Structure 1
Amino acid sequence: MLSLRFSHRLLLLRFGAGLPAARHGSPRLCIPPGLPVRLQQGPAAKGAPGVWTMVDPSKLEENFVFPEYVPEPDRDVEPSVSAELQQRQAEEERQQQLRDERRQRRLEREQRNTRNTREKRQHPMVGSPDPTVPVSGVNCSGCGAELHCQDPLVPGYLPSEKYRSLEAQADEGGLARAVCQRCWLLVHHQRALRVRVDREQYRELVRAALRRPGPALVLYIMDVFDLPDSLLPDLPDLLGPKQLMLLGNKVDLLPGDSPGYLRRLRERLWDECARAGLQLVPTKAKGRPAEAGRTGPQCQVQDVLLISAKTGFGVEEMISAVQRSWRYRGDVYLVGSTNAGKSTLFNTLLQSDYCIAKGADAIDRATISPWPGTTLNLLKFPISSPTPYRLFERNRRLQQEAAKSEDDLSEQEQKHLKQMKKRGYLVGRVGRTFSTPQNAEPTYEFDADSLAFDMENEPQRITRDAPTKRVELIPEELKDAHWFYDTPGIVKENCVLNYLTEKEVKIVLPTRSIIPRTFILKPGTVLFLGALGRLDYLQGNTSAWFSVVASNLLPVHITTLEKADTIYQKHAGQTLLQVPMGGVERMAEFPPLVSQDITLEGNGKLEAVADIKLSSAGWVAVTSLSEDKLHLRGYTPQGTTLTIRQPPLLPYIVSVKGERIKKSVAYKTKRPPSLVDKLKSSNKK
């Protein structure tokens, strides 16, 4: 064994020249193979034992690096070597300075991007306000707010320059069909402006509308995806003694977990009405609980229907049901919470038989947006009177269209159905029996009302997209007319959407058919639904299935209980959890997650035990084949509500899963097929 003891100076003189530089600027010593060497690391002082290292001779070459060695200029070192070391050290310092500058520029760029993102949440105002100009007295055709140019933060605002220009064009319509700046940005730029309309103002506007004299029918539309939160707890006091028809909207988003799931959803809505204290019709009230302590006239639920305002599923059946039960006794009001789909249904009915023939061409469509509270005032259209002639013609059209197959449809209709199938599971067709003539100067005038009872003179049906000239409703046509009103959405309390920006709302609210994502988790596992919700599986004897029913754009992340807090602190506001978005500054203003302990008892069947609803972001259905207890802990943002929904809305959702992904807790996702609704006859008893 050959033993070497050397100092830094000796190492530099004998082995530094002619050898390639090692990492960190340290010299490299190469020992030929087959020579056992014992080296002492570091300089050895007198009397110091030193630290020895054995070298493996079987290796071809060993490179020994001394990271603590820092060369120092010495008088005994040759000038050329000292200059080379100084030059190398200066180069390293320059590289380090460049790295520091790049790092500083990157941090400044990230801060600038974060600041720009925060500023973009509020779209910059265009033009200037003018408080001296009085309000117009004309409502926005998109949201119903009164048009003005006084204050940009008040609903109905238009820049003063645009406002004056429209006032000068009174002969061409002017402000009559204008939309406010907020509606324009929502429709054309997908931007949202915050306006000062609180919850009590919404409610007072709805109350004032429903207190009008005369009989009225209320169509309360609720989002089945957000059940039961979309059914307001104080609904009986808000509506008063009115006749009510409940519409379960957005059924096109939910996958069918069993053949009879629509019938089960409809029965669930009846149960929720009874639980909310609404009075049911006698045939539906048997065996259902009613809220105790309520006396006096109450809002009576006449019927419960499932629809999709976007895809048209069930809309024709709803029109037939309203015409049969309500006929033409008074006005009809569309009421519901924000984002329930009121404006979408308003636009769909505007193009249907429920509106008079000229109404679809004379009345502008409502502004629709995922942003909560888009409609700020009453929007309306005149209702078509269900005379025997109209009912006969409508019934004949429905029978003819129900007999058609998809291959018999026109190319445009087939293209529309194909697009709707991609967006929803349930698709329907909404048509019009009567339409105004397309010719701007017809040789004869056609009035559907005057020919309503004339069975010999059949009005011709013309289908077209838009009139060539603007159509105006004259006072004679609106005399004694009844109206269909779209009311503002009532803001829900304890809703996570109240804390999100418009970009985040687009990710959280599902707009296409939901594809369930199923995971099999064992105790000690955590499921993140973006950064909006968290579900910890704390204790249980066996693994359980967790099926996520939420927007397909909202990410799901699975981790362990030990890493969960670190992941949330590091990735909340970033790409991994995605919502909220905006980094550290966004999370600083976002409410923290608060926990709630949950105890469920397994049923021993392939059927979900309960739905854990994480506010309006979606829910997680828990399925366990064990009959033991499961201890969970759910997290939602402070100020929102975590709901345990029992029985679950889709109890067999675990069956809608693909094959297990190898070496993963997830299953492959699969989308159930779509179903096209056959149009039904209006003569159904």
Structure 2
Amino acid sequence: MEGKNIAAEQEEHALSCAGCGIHIQTIDKTKPGFTPKSALEREVIICQRCFKIKHYNEVSPVDMSDDDFLRILNGIGGTKSLVVMVVDVFDFQGSWLRGLPRFVGNNPILLVGNKVDLLPKNINLNRVRNWIQHEAKERGLRSEDVLLVSAQKGAGIEELLARIGQLRKGRDVYIVGVTNVGKSTLINRILHDYGAADLEITTSPFPGTTLDKIEIPLEDGRYIYDTPGIINRDQIGHMVTPADLRALTPQSRINPKVYQLNAGQSMFIGGLARVDFVSGDHQPFVLYVANQLYLHRTKLENADEVFAKHHGTLLVPPNGENGKTLPPMMKHTFKIEPNGPTDLVISGLGWVALQGKKPASVVVHAPKGVSVGVRKGLI
């Protein structure tokens, strides 16, 4: 009898969740990979966590460290494969996978900018592509090509598949990136377009949905591998509750908000960040953030008082009643020179564009640990 139990456990261990890649187990409900034994009879097996995400949008946190994810990615360098690195065009800095060369070894890299459907309609996509290529080189990454896609809408998928076919040369394909850049959504789009939607991978806006490497077989016996996302902890999304994360994550095409500011005025982006126009001539500040975020303009001299009084009520997210306490706000001071379009970027939240025609002194307040910086204007 004991031998049969051991054999059953070994058989379960050989199974992986089709949604997140974790090894299936039926013993401990509190551990990753749990699924009821009755679910093992299904053609496509998913763990209970993936089932709750898919059907109830309910997320159970999983205790996995950064080392667990890095261990999975470290094996790529020892393979002969094509590496497809996915970045979020809306949050390029926050979605950049640092140190990629040490993971991939000598394998070629195809760089894919996802979520292009979130960018304003009037944007020149060729310029965006060239901008991404330039930014990648500045970070020491030499890619075979740069493509723009929308995994959500299906735009650019045919071109991507054709380019993967040209570059992989009979090798496996690894899809890599940080959390929430849309890797799994991208693979689901590929599966759907090729009539294999029953193999759907679990997706959600929450970090760490994919827990282990997921194998998708190709016709020539090779595989596409969806890998767990590395967590960039300098993104603001890792500091808020799931409800607040939905509020700050763009759900549709961004509508830029233009504010004509004078020196001595401040802009609040919900209760998540604040931009102070300290000195300079009257000029436009264009905010590229999720459409549903509340924006509030006030005098700089009143800004501290407004924040103290209304944070979590008028200035939301975060939601004061059920919200998560954010780290203290830190100041980031920038001198904007008249050298052309300039973006002030808040990792995971969006950016504020200045024309760069007039000098300006600007202070950005963001929770401690959130990356804030300046870049050449994207738009």
Tell me the amino acid that sits aligned with residue 141 of structure 2.
L
Kept in 2: contact 1:246–1:303 (CA 8 A): yes
Tell me the CA shift for residue 152 of structure 1: 4.5
Kept in 2: contact 1:153–1:195 (CA 8 A): no
Tell me the CA shift for residue 150 of structure 1: 4.5
Which one of 282, 287, 311 corresponds to residue 572 of structure 1?
311
Kept in 2: contact 1:246–1:305 (CA 8 A): yes
User: In structure 2, do the counterparts of structure 1 residues 211 and 529 end up closer, same or farther at CA, with 3 Å as the change threshold?
Assistant: same
SS across alignment from 1:177: coil
Residues 577-616 of structure 1 aligned to structure 2 (within 5 Å): 577-583=315-321, 586=323, 589-603=325-339, 608=341, 610-616=342-348
Separation (CA, whole Å) in 1 of partners of 2:249 and 2:26: 32
SS across alignment from 1:351: helix
SS across alignment from 2:136: helix
1:240 matches 2:105: yes
1:179 matches 2:46: yes
Kept in 2: contact 1:228–1:272 (CA 8 A): no
Separation (CA, whole Å) in 2 of partners of 1:251 and 1:134: 44
SS across alignment from 1:497: helix
Kept in 1: contact 2:336–2:356 (CA 8 A): no
User: In structure 2, do the counterparts of structure 1 residues 623 and 152 end up closer, same or farther at CA, with 3 Å as the change threshold?
Assistant: farther
Tell me the CA shift for residue 624 of structure 1: 5.4
SS across alignment from 2:144: strand
- Select between 331-340 and 148-157 the one with higher mean Cα deviation: 148-157
1:374 matches 2:114: no
Kept in 2: contact 1:191–1:502 (CA 8 A): no
TM-score, normalised to structure 1's length? 0.52
Matched with 1:517 is 257
Tell me the amino acid that sits aligned with residue 21 of structure 2.
G
Tell me the CA shift for residue 532 of structure 1: 1.1
Matched with 2:137 is 274
Q: Percent identity?
A: 33
Which one of 282, 285, 289 corresponds to residue 550 of structure 1?
289
Give the structure with the higher percent strand.
2
User: In structure 2, do the counterparts of structure 1 residues 235 and 153 end up closer, same or farther at CA, with 3 Å as the change threshold?
Assistant: farther
Separation (CA, whole Å) in 1 of partners of 2:373 and 2:174: 30
Matched with 1:192 is 59
Kept in 2: contact 1:222–1:231 (CA 8 A): yes
Higher relative contact order (CA 8 A, sep 6+): 2
Matched with 1:144 is 21
Tell me the amino acid that sits aligned with residue 299 of structure 2.
T
Matched with 1:39 is none
Q: Deviations over 1:81-133 (max 9, x none)?
A: xxxxxxxxxxxxxxxxxxxxxxxxxxxxxxxxxxxxxxxxxxxxxxxxxxxx9
User: In structure 2, do the counterparts of structure 1 residues 383 and 237 end up closer, same or farther at CA, with 3 Å as the change threshold?
Assistant: same
SS across alignment from 1:531: coil
Matched with 1:165 is 38
Residues 88-487 of structure 1 aligned to structure 2 (within 5 Å): 134=9, 136-137=12-13, 138-158=15-35, 163-167=36-40, 173-174=41-42, 177-208=44-75, 210-211=76-77, 213=79, 215-258=80-123, 261-279=124-142, 301-327=143-169, 329-353=170-194, 360=196, 363-385=198-220, 481-487=221-227
Tell me the amino acid that sits aligned with residue 337 of structure 2.
E
Separation (CA, whole Å) in 2 of partners of 1:490 and 1:509: 18
SS across alignment from 1:145: coil
Kept in 1: contact 2:77–2:103 (CA 8 A): no
User: In structure 2, do the counterparts of structure 1 residues 620 and 485 end up closer, same or farther at CA, with 3 Å as the change threshold?
Assistant: same
Matched with 1:112 is none
Tell me the CA shift for residue 485 of structure 1: 0.9
Tell me the amino acid that sits aligned with residue 507 of structure 1.
A
Tell me the CA shift for residue 144 of structure 1: 1.0
Tell me the amino acid that sits aligned with residue 619 of structure 1.
W
Separation (CA, whole Å) in 1 of partners of 2:89 and 2:264: 32
Separation (CA, whole Å) in 2 of partners of 1:257 and 1:544: 21
Q: Deviations over 1:237-293 (max 9, x none)?
A: 1221111111111111101445xx2111111121122122223xxxxxxxxxxxxxx
Matched with 1:447 is none
Q: Deviations over 1:317-341 (max 9, x none)?
A: 11112223334x1111111111110
Give 5+ residue unaligned stretches, structure 2: 1-7
TM-score, normalised to structure 2's length? 0.92
Tell me the amino acid that sits aligned with residue 142 of structure 1.
G
1:495 matches 2:232: no
Separation (CA, whole Å) in 1 of partners of 2:77 and 2:98: 20
- Select between 332-341 and 565-574 the one with higher mean Cα deviation: 565-574
SS across alignment from 2:185: helix
Tell me the CA shift for residue 370 of structure 1: 0.7
Tell me the amino acid that sits aligned with residue 502 of structure 1.
P
Q: Deviations over 1:348-393 (max 9, x none)?
A: 111235xxx7xx16x52001111111111122222235xxxxxxxx
Residues 647-666 of structure 1 aligned to structure 2 (within 5 Å): 647-650=376-379
Separation (CA, whole Å) in 2 of partners of 1:196 and 1:152: 14
Matched with 2:271 is 531
Tell me the amino acid that sits aligned with residue 165 of structure 1.
S
Give 5+ residue unaligned stretches, structure 1: 1-132, 168-172, 280-300, 386-480, 651-685
Kept in 1: contact 2:78–2:105 (CA 8 A): no
Kept in 1: contact 2:120–2:253 (CA 8 A): yes
Matched with 2:4 is none
Large movers: runs of 4+ above 6 Å: none
Tell me the amino acid that sits aligned with residue 236 of structure 1.
P
Which one of 334, 352, 360 corresponds to residue 620 of structure 1?
352
Tell me the amino acid that sits aligned with residue 370 of structure 2.
T
Separation (CA, whole Å) in 1 of partners of 2:332 and 2:136: 27
Kept in 2: contact 1:543–1:624 (CA 8 A): no
Separation (CA, whole Å) in 1 of partners of 2:64 and 2:246: 21
- Structure with bigger gyration radius: 1
Separation (CA, whole Å) in 2 of partners of 1:166 and 1:262: 45
Separation (CA, whole Å) in 2 of partners of 1:310 and 1:598: 35
